[in-house]
Amino acid sequence: MILIIGLGNPGKEFEHTPHNLGFAVLNSFQEQNSFSDWQEKKKMLSLLSEGEMAGQEIVLAKPQTFMNKSGKAVKALLNFYKLKPKDLWVVHDDLDLDLGEMKISQAKGSAGHKGVQSIIDETKTNDFVRFRLGVSLFEEIKDLEKFVLKRFSEEEQESAEEIIGRVVVALEVSINSGLEQAMNDFN
Map residue 165 onto helix, strand or coil: helix
Cβ atoms of residues 122 and 63 within 8 Å: no
Catalytic residue among 16, 19, 92, 113: 19
Q: Please state, in angstroms and as integers, the Cα–Cα distance from residue 67 to each residue in 36, 113, 162, 182, following that order.
A: 24, 9, 23, 26
Buried b (16+ CB within 10 A) or exposed e, 54-80: eeeebbbbbbbbbbebbbbbbbbbbee
- Concerning whether 19 is annotated as a catalytic residue, the answer is yes
User: What CA–CA distance (Å, rounded) separates 12 from 7?
Assistant: 15
Catalytic residues: 19
